[in-house]
Structure 1
Amino acid sequence: MECRAGCGACCIAPSITSPIPGMPLGKPAGVPCIQLSDDFRCGIFGQSERPACCGGLKPSAQMCGANRDEAINWLSELERLTAPD
């Protein structure tokens, strides 16, 4: 499955605890990654600076849903369910 154009849900909904260029402490859930472009694409896709957790996240029908809102909701719920106490 290919990433949906204009989505960027995986660059917004989840937290990232590893450093990102421009965000040395990572990012909290719900905050857009600084590397997310205006057209909702990853500015460091395919580069070594991209966090491993980002590279390991692959689009799927379950995660991406039928539209961007469904993807953000699914990833936000996953974030909530897996957040440390």
Structure 2
Amino acid sequence: MSCHAPQPAGCRPGCGACCIAPSISSAIPGMPEGKPAGVRCVQLDANNLCRLFGRADRPAVCERFGFDPHVCGTDRYQAIRILSELESLT
């Protein structure tokens, strides 16, 4: 039994690529300075699920990120690669 809220439509449970690959400049509970690209968010649990999903203290940038097959690819590894490439362009 999971204590996590349902994931967004299309989101692959256990992926976590969006919580690892991109940098996040806003504060995250447990990471007041945000997080650099390629660093695992402290709110990502052992099952690669966000502990803050559906909570009011989830950063707005995380809340706005949604599943997109062009960004998330066909699996977790492709999502990390695509998001890392996009991050390097910004």
Q: Aligning the two structures, in what range does the TM-score lie when normalised by the shorter sequence? A: over 0.9
> How far is 1:2 from its partner?
2.2
TM-score by length of 2: 0.87
CA distance in 1, matches of 2:62, 2:26: 10
Aligned to 1:53: 61
Runs of 4+ residues deviating >6 angstroms: none
Root mean square deviation, CA, Å: 0.8
Aligned to 2:5: none
Where do 5+ consecutive residues of structure 1 fail to align?
none
Report the residue type matching 2:23 in the other structure: S
> How far is 1:46 from its partner?
1.2
How many percent identity over aligned positions? 57
Verify: 1:15 aligned to 2:43, yes or no: no
Aligned to 2:45: 37
Aligned to 2:3: none
Task: State the number of aligned residues.
Answer: 82
Pairing 1:42-81 to 2, within 5 Å after superposition: 42-81=50-89
Report the residue type matching 1:56 in the other structure: R
Where do 5+ consecutive residues of structure 2 fail to align?
1-8
